[in-house]
Structure 1
Amino acid sequence: MFPGAIEVVPATYLDQLGTIFARFAPKDSGNISYGLQTATDRYFVKTAGDATDAYVNFPDRVALLRNAIELAESVPHPVLPALHAVIESPSGPLLVYEWRDGELFGDSTSRERFHALPTAEILAAVNALYDLHAALDAAGWVECDFYNSSMLYDFPAHRLTVFDLDLYHRGPTRNTMGRMFGSSSYMAPEQHVLGAPIDTRTTAYVMARAGQLLLPDPPQPVADVLIEATTTRFPSYQAFYAAWLTASSTIDASRPNRST
């Protein structure tokens, strides 16, 4: 259905292919993405955006999209939207993902609605997030930019989706920025320190913070793991994940959420 390359600008091509029903242009990235309805399905199409937008220079935006392609191809996972096609254009690659319904956690109303869900459903979403990062960690990927707006939740389908992991790094790296991209609510201490190592320990810390923010009233066994991960720290993501699995297997997830 999708060609390997096109000679027109992305929006012009998408207009020919179907109906653009949504346009996303976050000011902090320079990327422009589209919701596309074709005769048979819906897709999310991500592009490098306008070459004149200088927030992140255009060649770097293209490089990050190619990094996203590598990540999607190396770690297929139910939590990640499937990458259906990559279309080359004069404006860089178009990444054609499956469309996922859901409410963005960047919206406080959506987060509050999620926090009011039964404990079992919240734990299932956190488990899915952690399973994804276990697969990413096993493939060598290190977290470098994860925050509320990396997640959306489909309440009717009880399904978490994670996306926009373009800045994840294949292998350990160093902090070359000082304060790195991301939300301070999630970031590990080393993501504020120029020259600090960014590695599997970083992923463990950030995911533990995600767990603390997603679980408004964590059962004690998992609360203890999350606290350890954000204080004394685990030596690796896999060590954190093993401790989480052990702790979560001991709790009664059928209990009501006390925050409701």
Structure 2
Amino acid sequence: MTDLLSLTRSDLTPEELVRSAGEVLARFDHRTQDSGNVAWLVRTSSGEFFVKSAGEEMPPIGAPVPVLDRPSRVHLLRTAVEIARGIDHPALARLRTVIEVPSGPVLVYDRAPGELVGVPSARRDDPDSSYRRFASAPPAVRLSVFDQLLEAHRALEVAGWVACDLYDGCLMVDLATGHLTLIDLDTYRRGPSTNDMGRMFGSSRFMAPEEFTKGAPLDARTTVYTLGRLLRHFGTGLTEDLEDFCGGSARAAVVERATQRERTVRQGSVGELAAEWTAARDAGAAP
């Protein structure tokens, strides 16, 4: 058996490497995701790991959506490594090692507890889906997840990162403990930038208006909008009506400001959003 944690380099392909390490519990490729990456859940003698690679080649014709070429995917994986090694926060997935193989880096993470909140659109009406179960979880659980989400992004902001392609498919939530793990932050950008794509990567349910307009600024206010959309979507139990927000009217007002289409109305930074959120929470808890 290959000990993944002892390696920094291998001549094996990612598939061979993972299969030599233990029992493959799941494999994720173009049939289950649209990034073009290939990843595995593997059980080894050292524990269970989530292993991610850029894949050996482009997905076959007929993949659901166009994807980046492999060199671009390799570049984004190196962004994920930079984030993981530069920021120590309990809500960020724990990167254990990076193994260099001929096709690029293989990232080995601890398996995160819980379930992925994001599900295929066909399953969003299923009451047994992780998506619906999180949206209907007790307010204390959802609010704890929101606290962790904001604090993690305040740490990311301090380190200079702007969110891109942040959506419910980045949230692993353990409903038993309320613990959040953020995954797949590969496309985050270092510092403010300009929309160079037109329609950016991401889920339109959570994307800021500027993420659809080529040449528009992408900065902390963009991150604020997406965070606000996540809080609004799940905090209202999917109704989007802030009268239903699970955190009370003061925190609902913070979310309302964050999700304004006009950029200048939103909080100017994640730090400002988090501070308003905390002040509203504390005001609500006061006798």
Question: Which TM-score bucket, shorter chain as reference?
Answer: over 0.9
Q: Does 1:156 align with 2:176?
A: yes
2:278 to 236, 245, 252: 245
Cα distance between partner residues in 2 of 1:157 and 1:228: 29
Per the normalisation by structure 2, the TM-score is 0.84
SS class of match (1:186): coil
Structure 2 match to 1:257: none
> TM-score when scaled to structure 1?
0.93
Aligned partner (choices 189, 199, 210) of residue 219 of structure 2: 199
Three-state SS of the structure 2 residue aligned to 1:249 is helix
Aligned position for 2:47: 41
Residue correspondence of structure 1 range 227-246 to structure 2 within 5 A: 227-231=256-260, 232-246=265-279
Moved more, 154-163 or 143-152: 154-163
> Who is 1:74 aligned against?
86
How far did residue 250 of structure 1 move? 2.1
How many residues are matched? Answer: 253
* Aligned residue in 1 for 2:23: 19
Larger mean CA deviation between 194-203 and 45-54 belongs to: 45-54
1:178 paired residue number: 198
| Residue 2 (structure 1) shift | 2.6
Which has the higher relative contact order, 1 or 2, with Cα contacts under 8 A spaced 6 or more apart?
Answer: 1
Give 5+ residue unaligned stretches, structure 2.
60-65, 237-243
Matched, 1:56 2:68: yes
Provide Cα deviations, 1:194-223, integer angstroms capped at 9, x if missing partner.
011101111111111111012013210011
Post-superposition shift, 1:75?
Answer: 1.1
RMSD over aligned Cα atoms: 1.5
Match of 2:162 among 142, 153, 159: 142
Q: Which moved more, 1:107-116 or 1:193-202?
A: 107-116
The CA deviation at 1:252 is 4.8
| 1:130 aligned counterpart, secondary structure | helix
Q: What is the SS of the residue equivalent to 1:146?
A: coil
Which residue of structure 2 lines up, in the alignment, with residue 258 of structure 1?
none
How many angstroms does 1:131 deviate by? 0.4
Whole-Å Cα distance in 2 between the matches of residues 78 and 10 of structure 1? 27
- Partners of 2:218 and 2:48 lie apart in 1 by 36
Work out whether 1:209 is the aligned partner of 2:229: yes
- Write the letter of the residue equivalent to 2:220: T
SS of match in other structure, 1:183: coil
Deviations 1:71-94 (A, max 9, x none): 111112111121000000012100
Taking the aligned partners of 1:31 and 1:183, their CA distance within structure 2 comes to: 18
What is the distance in 2 between the residues matched to 1:233 and 1:74?
28
Q: CA deviation at 1:168?
A: 0.2
Cα distance in 2 for partners of 1:52, 1:116 equals: 38
Larger deviation: 23-32 or 137-146? Answer: 23-32
Counterpart in the other structure of 2:209? 189
Identity of aligned residues (%): 40
Q: Find the aligned partners of 1:84 and 1:152 in 2 and give their Cα distance.
A: 18
Give the gaps of 5 or more residues in structure 1. Answer: 254-260
Tell whether the 8 Å contact from 2:51 to 2:106 is kept in structure 1 after alignment: yes
Provide Cα deviations, 1:149-195, integer angstroms capped at 9, x if missing partner.
Answer: 11121122321221000000111111001110101111111111101
Deviations 1:113-146 (A, max 9, x none): 1222221221111000000000000100001111
Distance 2:134 2:213 in 1: 33
For the residue of structure 1 that corresponds to 2:77, the secondary structure is helix
Post-superposition shift, 1:239?
Answer: 1.4
